[in-house]
Structure 1
Amino acid sequence: MLSLGAFAFAAPGMLALLLVLPVIYWLLRMIPPLPRLVRFPAIRLLMGLEPTEQTPMKIPWWLLLLRLLLATALILAVAKPLLNPQADLPGRGPLLLVIDDGWASAPGWTARIAHAERLIDRAERGGRPVVLMGTAPSPLDAPVMKQGALRPEEARTLLRALRPKPWPTDRAAAVTQLDRMEVDASAYAVWLSDGLEDPGTDKLSARLRQFAGLEVVLPDQATTPLVLLPPDTEGRDLRVRALRPAANGPRKTAIRAEDDQGRVVARIDLDFAATSTQGEGVLAAPVELRNRMTRLDIEGQGGAGSTVLLDERSRRRPVSILGERASANGQPLLQEVYFLERALDPYVSLSVGDRENVLTRNTAVLLVPDSSAPSPNDREEIAKWIEQGGVAVRFAGPNLAAGGDNLVPTPLRLGDRALGGVMSWGTPATLAEFPANSPFFGIPIPKDVRISQQVLAEPTPDLSDKTWARLTDGTPLVTAEKRGKGYLVLVHTTANTNWSNLALSGLFVDMLQRLVLLSRGIAGDGINKALKPWRTLDGFGRLGAPPAGVQMLPADANRSFKPKPTTPPGLYGDENAHVAFNLGDHVDPPKPLVLPAGVATDRLSEGGETDLSRWFLLAAAMLLLGDFLISLWLRGMLPRAVRLRRAATAALLIAMAGLLAIPQRAQAQTSPAPPAQIQPPDKTGATPTAEKTPPPPLSEEEALRGALDVRLAYIVTGDKDVDDTSRAGLEGLSEVLRSRTSVEPADPVALDLDRDEPRLYPLIYWPITSTQPNLTPRASAALDRYLRTGGIVFVDTRDQQMSFDRPANGNPDLKRLLGAIELPPLVSMPSDYVLTKSFYLLSDFPGRWQGGKIWIEAGNGRVNDGVATIMIGSNDYAGAWAVDQRGRGLMPVSPGGETQREMAFRFGVNLVMVALTGNYKDDAVHLQDIMQRLRR
């Protein structure tokens, strides 16, 4: 490398080409420019005329200078000029790059990769191989990474494919992997650390010090990782806490809360004191906004450690108490409503009233004290409400002990049982440990809680399964029964202090909170069991479909259970009921990295040398363009009126193309989002939301491509996960069509019926979601026009619950969205329909799930040559078609696995063939008759 102060050349040997410049100068001087092209009139008009213009014998000096500058720019470009060059790496052995790629590396990941690329460039200049390895366990579906000494270009490719992982590093396992590589001892090791301590830090640093040299690169303060902990509920507010590794001065950051659409609904500032490693803040929001929050993020971090997913445990559920509010005149300490209010008011949205008032609201839990024993009519209405998904919690007392009340989870004996007092032989009883099938499982039981009176349950075969809490003598204290979608729960003692002191203990509050969580959205139906993965986080904190190989979250996943490739952080359960498994409360508090004395360190930064080759190539391209335009001008091939305008336009386009081609380094830190003001609900109770920006309409060029190429389309729903799955699924189906059939579809198209023209596409895939807005009149008209002109729409409800013979059991979202178009009568697809034989012979039509039916319009589509224009399925076909770049499925298929995915692809091929060729299979039956008629 030839260094000239702040300027250097990585390939100085190429500067020898500058000696050729005199030869180029001599050649250009000797070769005159091409003569100007003149269109002669008739020859007789030229007789006797003398030419007024002479062709020059030599090239003009300014054109000669331009071409010499062009050659000089090309020579300097191939010499690889560098600005602020860095010295070559120490030693002569290979470069060993060890990169921490766990959750803590996500902040400043772009700067980390840029720093590693500069190290590889320095190794490449010295002709040294590169060994690349990460310290975090690889995902289960990750391709096998090539190990050992690599060429710099190979290492650069692997580096750009590296991503942070949503789990901690394992540096002890990295040492084992390094030993298997058998790296040359003369290697120079560079460890790009995340700056945090790890149980295997000493082992890794000791192993790296055995090489010829070691340098540890530490993050700066801006990229030091922060850990966001799940919030604590403090009454009506959420207390948010974040941790940092070291108390290195004051630091301010921001926490933003988002809803399921990615909109910011609240934002607070979080301050770290100069001597504290913990920052705290209170997130105060109305109930409506708090119940919409789905995640919390630290601005400027962008990683799994700075993200907290929220489930129903962080929301304020609407709870109602049947009865009258306690008053001072009525001795509140004796009223059951008083104890229920004091136990739940800080944690839920509470209301008190009669049955007509409390059941007309969006009530999640209904508490029924014995003093407010419901009438027979009220019990009937409450039973219907439970069937629809409500949770009713009843408390025993004298009224219930008198008998005649059938709104109980298990039959009861008449009267009550006294466990202490003058007329009783026994003493007040204590509680036994909660069983594993109880939502109270894991709650510690205070030793001073005593039950002195209770109602007894009749012994039945299923009483043990219905018992959620019992006394030490085995008699049930809390029984429950699942009815429809809801629960009926009975506490066999009173809600005040008449029959026990339970209402005075913290156990009473904990038990009521668990029952509130049971009301909606918490997976497991109140039973502690393993949960399947539904959505998981990647290393950058993005929520998506779980990767292949992710296992179920065990029921005993306590704080000591660490995130790992088999159980990454995310949401476990399903879309209706799930729990959040966050990284913040399942990793150790961050501590700064401690290195042995004598280890060289550096700071991660965006600075360093700059390669100027691309700029010299851009200058050469601009000079070449100028030379081309000047040559055209000298030959008279540019119209005089537009010469300058066209030349300026072309130069501007070339300059813009050159600037866009230059890879700009992305900023390591994202700019913080503007504060989102919390808007109170309006008079109707609705909370204002931001309008969704529709996608731009298709340009003329895109419309032309859609008309000339075969493209599959899908309707945009507004749900990012569903839309991404639809696009990935149609891309996977298009790849299968290209490899197995003569159809070569282009990339699929996202379709907005309000703006785009659907008639350009033979088949439209329409997934149904509950959040998708109704069709506008313009969209309905476009879809009707598409169906009338022969287009085919395949509607996928993705729920396996369609039933058109009984509309009450059908999908309500499907009825809502299709209600705006002229939908013909639908029937179950017959077994001999053309869709079963258009390419493959099929008898079943699975997607991600198996079963269900395909519904088509009645009459086999008489208008469209016997082909139905609308088909409806329910097996999430795009989820089964979605594959990655290596052809592996992105989503699990149940229960048939990859065999079922193959059958789903075959169904997709048949569907596209029907859309492109219609009913040609039935026409083929009459082929002989048609040929005989043609012969005549």
Structure 2
Amino acid sequence: MTFTTAFGIIAFLNPWVLAGLVFLPALWFLLRVTPPAPHLVVFPAARFVAGLIPEESTTSRTPWWILLLRLIILALVILALARPVLNPVATLPGGNPIRIIMDNGWASAQSWNLQMEEAKRLLSSAGHDKRDIYILTTAPEPGSENPASHGPLTQAQADSILRGLTPHPWPADYKATLKLAQEQTPDKKLQSYWLSHGLKEGSNELFETLQAQGSLDYFRPGYSQLPLLLRPATKITQKLSVLVSAPKELPSGTPVTVNALGMDGRILGSQSATLNPREKSAEITIDIPDSVRNQVQQIQLSGRKGAGAVLLLDDQFKRRDVGIATANGNSEVAPLIEEEYYLKRALEPYANLSFGTIQKLINEKPAVIILPNIGAMPPEELNILEKWVKKGGLLLRFAGPNMTQGDNFLVPVPLLKGDRALGGALTWDKPVRLAPFSGSSPFYGLTLPEDITVKQQLLAEPVQGLVEKTWASLEDGTPLITADYLENGLIVLIHTTATPSWSDLSLSGLYIQILRRIINLAGSSAPATSVSGTLQPLVILDGFGAAGQPKGSVQPIPSSDFDSLIPDSSRPPGLYGRSGYQKSLNIGDRIGVPELFSSLPAGVATGHYGGQNENNLMPWILALAFFFFMLDWLIMVLMQINWRIFRPAVLLYLIFLSFSGTASAQTEAQMIEYADNIHLAYIKTGNIALDQTAQEGLKALSQTLTNRTSVEPSEVIALDPEQELSFFPLIYWPVAQEQKPLSTKALQNIQYYIDHGGTILFDTRDYISSANSGYSQGGRNAEKLRALIGSLNIPPLTKISDDHVLTKTFYLLNGFPGRYNGDSLWVEEQGAIGRDGVSSVIIGSNDWASAWAASSSTGARQEEESLRFGVNLVLYALTGNYKTDQVHLPHILERLGK
């Protein structure tokens, strides 16, 4: 039974209970004709004559307005038992089990909240009908090759599994999803609901299988919620450029903003643009000074979620300082003739170039020095160049006529005198093409053009170890590029010229790619640049695009496979490397441009996200009925009072109240409210913006506790330290410079609070300013905190341990991030904690309130981790050490064994 109102549609889940409303008129009639119960009246003999004619008479009927009030109470109870709901979810057709296919690949992050809300509505509707529920995801689980598959489930079980789902930063595997779908074969047909991210990734075979097993509804987000993809620019220029790829169906003129972020998350540069749906990708250039560019760690699409909206930058995006040695120290070069011209044209978009003598270049401290066709050098220049290489410099040399005398100083391999000429008028040999790069070469994976030939080269002596030092060779096996390490530095020799005089290499795009890979090796140690090894995971992106530490399921990547690898469940997007050498694995440069289905198979129903949530009205109606019941009771009490006796006293009391304040009454009412419910509280700082952030942050944390746990906090309370604090199990205290010194009463109040079981989280919010010095030094707010609480008797504090009960109270935590992520917490030493094992003082600097307040709008992973810390903190303050035995389980088992 449903009704349409101004507030939405109201439905009754137990409509048969409404039949009780029919008996209300009969009850009215019975109560009207039945007189009230007789009163016992004292009849004193001494006043036998008095009162023969009563001044007041008792009515033989209950007042009509009292009857009406009681009938309203009964009507409200009947309405509540009928279980009314506002905006009920649509009843699912049929009566078969339902299956929810949840897209949770990289593209799902943007529409994840919409997918979750739709899934909740489907589960609620299926729960009303007591249907079996199946859940199937599309992206493999971390460390596994298969997505998750669950069922049959009840609504409660499905709700629990749904809360544990999260988008992953790698693509969905629809072949594995198809296999799992084929294994879900209940006795009845399945009603499948595919909650997609909207992109064209699912196979037709999957659609056919789902339709063959029953009906299929395909949900997709609106155009504004379609995922975008951030990709490196195909053409590198002196500016920092990226490509933003979007489906062509995106509305024309959609604005996008890209931000360049530093290591600490600060925005170093930003640029906005509008997307043109007729173009697959829009190139956006961020104008950043060269002095700042190398500090950029990642580029993000503002307001977008997911690994596809993040581009991690590795060494190839950094502009290295490269010095090119010239004989006369002049930077002017002759076009198309001199070696310096070809090197300048090839490297200028990627590096900061300088020209000069060897002495001048070394004084400028470049990362790379290039010697084109420079053979003999003065001894003093050789000595300073050798010292520079040993300290970690990269020396790149090109062959040429000046190096044909077999000078073997500062070369990676011994050279034969003279040069080898191919294809000349006096030679029988033809020019030789390049051989494919081996798997151990830094150039492995580069496309080799067939038209590159070498006509002349310097030959290396065939000594032991030559193969290991050869990075590129010709088809006849002679080395073309060799390299070797000299202590901490690297020497690379290209056995042909930097000009087209000896080969066609300098005229090809391969020439630029080879030079870039060589320059990117600058500053790396020998083990790091050995491509025969593996690159270890350093930083990993989660499904929402937040960077974090790699988990145990993440596997290292062989260097030879890195450039061709597509991120998956064992090797997610992130930074990989070792010994100072890093390479970025981004989803954007490993997959194609996002596209939508042009049409869906026949028989597939389509829908869009955005329905209203179902709200249960039963608690509100029962609360209203209880209010009217208490009103009825109060009226009956007042009616039984002899107001003639109390009239003067009441008048005096009212006069007294008119001249008195209401603070004590309000305080008493507040104290009753504080005692009856759980409240999160914070100390007012005097900084309006900071107090507002604390208020909003604790509200968001309260909502999270209500949604995820059995704790349901009431409103957030702003406290003055001089108020009564005992009602609050946990108090959040953000530290600000505006805070005034505490009074003696406030200090006594706080001391009593922490001595009798209360917990205060002091947040100095200055992690950035104190990150390099630690808590013992801290920033300005840490100094302010010491000034505020220096007179308190606080137990000894220590850094929180990895196995502290706070890391396991509800969620398993590896850190305690807030707006910042890095500093640890300080808690009481284990021996100093009494009673329930809860630390009375917790100190940190990660600005948790800002992260909690931002979580409702951004949904970023770090904000989610911050909320989880808040949940653990509140439960830790409420429940004490009930999980301490689990923390010490190994020691308990060891003692039991003895």
Q: TM-score, normalised by structure 1?
A: 0.63
CA contact (8 A) 1:389 1:486 kept: yes
Asked whether 1:208 is paired with 2:202, we answer no
Q: How many angstroms does 1:21 deviate by?
A: 8.5
CA deviations 1:322-349 (Å, max 9, x no partner) are 2356666x74544322222122112212
**What's 2:234 paired with?**
232
Quote the Cα distance in structure 2 between the aligned partners of 1:462 and 1:701: 79
5+ unaligned residues in a row in structure 1: which ranges?
Answer: 33-53, 667-697, 710-744, 757-766, 797-881, 886-904, 911-936
Does residue 222 of the first structure (1) align with residue 227 of the second (2)? no
Q: CA deviation at 1:501?
A: 4.5
Task: State the one-letter code of the partner of 1:579.
Answer: K
2:617 aligned with 1:603, yes or no?
A: no
Residue equivalent to 2:305: 302
Checking the alignment, whether the CA contact within 8 Å between 2:444 and 2:560 is kept in structure 1 is no
C-alpha distance in structure 2 between counterparts of 1:793 and 1:366, whole Å = 50
Q: How far apart, in 2, do the equivalents of 1:187 and 1:197 lie?
A: 23
Given the alignment, which residue of 524, 527, 548 partners 2:552? 548
Determine the C-alpha separation between the residues in 1 that align with 2:310 and 2:767.
36
Give the Cα–Cα distance (whole angstroms) in 2 for the partners of residues 347 and 416 of structure 1: 32
Distance 2:37 2:362 in 1: 97
Mapped partners of 1:419, 1:546: distance in 2: 52
- Tell me if structure 1 keeps the 8 A contact 2:297–2:312: yes
Residue 198 of structure 1 aligns with which residue? 201
Structure 2 CA distance for partners of 1:590 and 1:755, relative to 1, 3 Å? closer
Shift in CA distance, 795/152, structure 1 to aligned 2, threshold 3 Å: closer
- Among candidates 500, 512, 515, match of residue 509 of structure 1: 512
Q: What does residue 286 of structure 2 align with?
A: 283
- Cα 1:87–1:460 change in 2 (3 A) is closer
Once the two structures are TM-superposed, the CA of residue 770 in structure 1 deviates from its matched residue by 11
Range moving further from structure 2, 493-502 or 233-242: 493-502
CA distance in structure 2 between the partners assigned to 1:216 and 1:792 by the alignment: 56
Does structure 1 retain, via aligned residues, the 8 Å contact 2:391–2:488?
yes
For 1:793 and 1:291, the matched residues in 2 are separated by 37
CA distance in 2, matches of 1:617, 1:648: 26
Distance in structure 1 (CA, Å) of the matches to 2:146 and 2:340: 61
Superposed CA offset, 1:732-763 (max 9, x none): xxxxxxxxxxxxx999979869799xxxxxxx
1:486 corresponding residue in structure 2: 489
Structure 1's 621 and 769: CA in aligned 2 closer, same or farther, altered over 3 A?
A: farther
Q: Give the 3 Å change call, closer, same or farther, for CA 779–541 of structure 1 in structure 2.
A: closer
CA contact (8 A) 1:101 1:163 kept: yes
Against the structure 1 CA distance between its residues 508 and 590, is the aligned structure 2 distance closer, same or farther, given a 3 Å change threshold?
A: closer
Distance 2:500 2:638 in 1: 103
- Indicate if the aligned counterparts of 2:248 and 2:595 stay in contact, CA closer than 8 A: yes
**Quick one: distance in 1 between partners of 2:379 and 2:889?**
54
Aligned amino acid, residue 574 of structure 2: G
Over residues 763-787 of structure 1, what are the superposed CA-to-partner deviations in whole Å (9 max), with x where a residue is unaligned? xxxx99799998669979999x99x
Secondary structure at the counterpart of residue 519 of structure 1: coil
Q: CA deviation at 1:595?
A: 2.1
2:303 is equivalent to residue 271 of structure 1: no
Counterpart contact for 1:325–1:353, Cα < 8 Å: yes
Q: Displacement of 1:462 after TM fit?
A: 1.7
What does residue range 252-401 of structure 1 map to in structure 2 within 5 Å? 252-259=254-261, 260-323=263-326, 331-361=334-364, 363-371=366-374, 374-401=377-404
Counterpart contact for 1:171–1:204, Cα < 8 Å: no
Task: Give, in angstroms, the shift of residue 118 of structure 1.
Answer: 1.4
Find the partner of 1:181 among 181, 184, 200.
Answer: 184
In the TM superposition, what is the alpha-carbon distance from 1:255 to its structure 2 partner? 3.9
- Residue in structure 2 matched with residue 85 of structure 1 by the alignment: 88
Separation in structure 2 between the aligned mates of residue 168 and residue 292 of structure 1, nearest angstrom: 30
Contact 1:229–1:308 (CA under 8 A) maintained in structure 2: yes
> 1:135 Cα shift?
2.6
| d(CA) in 1 for partners of 2:208, 2:555 | 33
CA RMSD, Structure 1 to Structure 2 (Å): 5.8
Return the offset for 1:4. Answer: 5.2
Among candidates 552, 566, 573, match of residue 570 of structure 2: 566
Looking at structure 1, the residues matched to 662 and 722 of structure 2 have their Cα atoms a distance apart, in angstroms, of: 29
**In the alignment, is the contact (CA less than 8 A) between 1:456 and 1:476 conserved in 2?**
yes
Pairwise CA distance, 1:481: 1.1
How far has the Cα of 1:571 moved from its partner?
2.0
CA contact (8 A) 2:347 2:512 kept: yes
* Cα 1:248/1:338, change in 2 over 3 Å: closer
Q: CA deviation at 1:113?
A: 1.0
1:244 and 2:246 are equivalent in the alignment: yes
The Cα of 1:579 is off from its aligned counterpart by 1.5
| Residues 566 and 353 of structure 1, relative CA distance in 2, 3 Å threshold | same
Residue 464 of structure 1, CA deviation: 1.7
Question: How much does 1:107 deviate?
Answer: 1.5
Tell me how far 1:109 sits from its aligned partner: 1.1
Deviations 1:151-201 (A, max 9, x none): 212212221221122223333433432343333424433222222333534
Q: Any conservation in 2 of the 1:170–1:200 contact (CA below 8 Å)?
A: no
Deviation of 1:86 after TM superposition, in Å, equals 4.4
CA distance in 1, matches of 2:637, 2:393: 82
Tell me the secondary structure at the aligned position of residue 585 of structure 1. coil
The one-letter amino acid of 2:219's match is V
Give the alignment partner of residue 538 of structure 1, picking from 536, 542, 555: 542
Deviations 1:268-311 (A, max 9, x none): 33433344444333334332343222223333330123332221
- Provide structure 2 residue ranges, at least 5 long, that are not aligned to the other structure: 39-55, 642-649, 681-695, 706-718, 731-756, 802-864, 869-886, 893-898
2:213 partner letter: Q
Query: What is aligned with 2:158?
Result: 155
* Contact residue 99 and residue 191 of structure 1 kept, 8 A: yes
Instruction: Give the equivalent residue in structure 1 for 2:168.
Output: 165
Counterpart of 1:107 in structure 2 is 110
Alignment of 1:26-45 (within 5 A): none
Secondary structure of the 2:163 match is helix
Contact 2:248 2:277 in 1 (8 A): no
CA displacement at 1:550 relative to structure 2: 2.4
Please tell me whether the aligned partners of residues 629 and 647 of structure 1 are also in contact (alpha carbons under 8 angstroms): no
C-alpha distance 389-748 of structure 1, shift in aligned 2 (>3 A): farther
Equivalent-residue separation in structure 2 for 1:21 and 1:197 (angstroms): 60
Instruction: Please give the alpha-carbon distance, in whole angstroms, between the structure 2 residues aligned to 1:331 and 1:157.
Output: 72
In structure 2, do the counterparts of structure 1 residues 227 and 777 end up closer, same or farther at CA, with 3 Å as the change threshold?
closer
Superposed displacement of residue 525, structure 1: 0.7
For the residue of structure 2 that corresponds to 1:531, the secondary structure is strand
Which amino acid letter does the alignment assign opposite residue 215 of structure 1?
D
Q: Give the structure-2-normalised TM-score.
A: 0.65
Contact 1:92–1:186 under 8 Å retained in 2: no
**8 Å Cα contact 1:220/1:604 also seen in 2:** yes
> Aligned partners of 2:483 and 2:100: how far apart in 1?
59
Cα–Cα, structure 1 residues 604 and 464, in superposed 2: closer, same or farther, change >3 Å? Answer: same
| SS of 2:323 mapped into structure 1 | strand
